[in-house]
Amino acid sequence: MEDAEIVLMFSLLIIPAAIWLQLWVKNRREKRKNVLGEEEFESTARALFSIVIEGTAIVGGLIMIIMGSGGVIKYILNFYAA
């Protein structure tokens, strides 16, 4: 296998993982909502922890989606350019 196929495989594997990460954050936020639709935290420490973890997951997931899509697009361009 060439390097291009290996990059394509990893790119195709990373996109579903990134989408799962985004859905995990969404479900986590929905579980914390009260009757009025506001997020409730047990303590300030829990709120700060959630902000850091969820923020990192969102940014990391978006980076993974961008890099995975870029790998797929790069493979397609190289395949059809030759």
pLDDT digits over 56-75, tens only?
A: 999 999 999 999 999 999 99
Residue whose pair of structure tokens reads 């190289």 in the numeric block:
78
Q: What is the pLDDT of residues 15-25, one digit of tens each?
A: 999 999 999 99
CA dist., res. 50 & res. 28, Å (int): 9
Report DSSP state, residue 39.
Answer: B
Counted domains in the chain: 1
Q: Which domain holds residue 69?
A: 3-81
Please state whether 37 falls in left (phi above 0), alpha (psi between -120 and 50) or beta.
left
CA dist., res. 26 & res. 29, Å (int): 5
The pLDDT score that the predictor gives to residue 42 is: 86
Amino acid letter at 65? I
**1: confidence class by pLDDT, cuts 50, 70, 90:** low
Q: Read off the tokens for 73.
A: 């697009």
| pTM, to two decimals | 0.79
The pLDDT score that the predictor gives to residue 28 is: 92
